[in-house]
Amino acid sequence: YQRRVHGEFPFLDETLKKKMEHRDPMTLTRQIMLDQSRYPAAGGNFTQLLSSIQLACKVIGTAVRKAGLYSLYGSAGGETNASGDHQKKLDVLSNDIFVNAMRFCDQVAIMASEENEGPIFVDPEHMGKYIVCFDPLDGSSNIDANVSVGTIFGIYACSGDPRHMTPEQLRADILQPGTNLCAAGYALYGSSLMIVLSTNAQAGVRAYTYDPTIGEFILTMENMRIPPAGAIYSINEGNAGVWDAATTEYVHQCKFPLPGGKKKSLRYIGSMVADVHRTLLYGGIFLYPGDRSAPEGKLRLMYECAPMAFLLEAAGGSATTGRRRILDIVPTGIHMRVPIIMGSRDDVATIVALYEKHDTSAPAAAAKA
């Protein structure tokens, strides 16, 4: 619509153009339907799935905003989830909301959630052809402090008709690399409720902000592109004592740059959605590397790292373990952990070069010894 206003009515002054755009905004629902119309053979299944995801995010967003009023802060009886993290009350509620939205939209065959030890199967009468992997409430350790949290999701297609697949075949089918993602995105529950979404590299990355007065997500950022380099690095400095040599050297360069380089500022929230969102907007790098205490890293591949890597690459960025592209990794389990380094292309390339340097020097040093 914005193109129509500016293209067909060039004589209108800027104030009137803005008023017309505001009266007829591009909503997420309209955008999904517009994208569907570009594929004549589409039956609306993917459209219905994305509509159910935005509904789940609206409901979770409402619960997050009202958590203090309805005693939703605090732990869920001291329980831990499948990944070993302590569950909060909002973790459990958000998971139930998302699972139910997916279960009854008739488009999903199987799900993987951070909060469930095994995959979640949909009843045959509601079974569709998609696989959805999600973290229903990322950053839940920050909930009680009223810090921004979010939902991360990735959508895959089943390799065959799920109604004719055995449970074992479906379990195997869920373990797909990020290169097979049909779409990925996250919802950010912060000063505003926002969904950032990409359906493929050609569509790019778009951000939609929730307008509670009309109950819709409004397109607020289109074709989001991460700067090739940034002035911010984001990492948990509390783990500095157990970092590998490449990470240690990179962070040192951020603080004490080489001749001709620029110092970077540290910004770390501890909520992946919030940290990656800032990185996407401003550029820079987000790191949760493997270290001596957790060689495989902390973050999970299927419902945290792969969806975020899909988004960052669609926006022109990079995502790696330091040695391997995140989207190329084939998961061995739904809760598989991987090191993650993502952000601006040039910043990520710098630390990848350091990994190559230290990986080359380590065998040589061992041989001399």
Instruction: Please list the active-site residues.
Output: 85, 91, 114-115, 135, 137-138, 304
- The CA distance from 160 to 183, in Å, is 18
Contact 182, 156 (CB under 8 A): yes
Beta-bridge partner residues of 207: 196, 221
- The CA distance from 71 to 88, in Å, is 11
- The CA distance from 324 to 124, in Å, is 38
Contacts 24+ apart (CB under 8 A), 358-366: 358/244, 358/245, 358/246, 358/249, 359/323
Q: Residue 67, Cα to own-chain centre: how many angstroms?
A: 23
Length of the chain in residues, anyone?
Answer: 369
Given phi > 0 = left and psi -120 to 50 = alpha, else beta, which region is 261?
A: beta
Query: Shortest CA distance to 131 belongs to which of 122, 118, 140?
Result: 122
Joined together, the tokens standing for residue 101 give: 């939205």
Amino acid symbol at 168: E
Query: Shortest CA distance to 284 belongs to which of 267, 299, 269, 297?
Result: 267
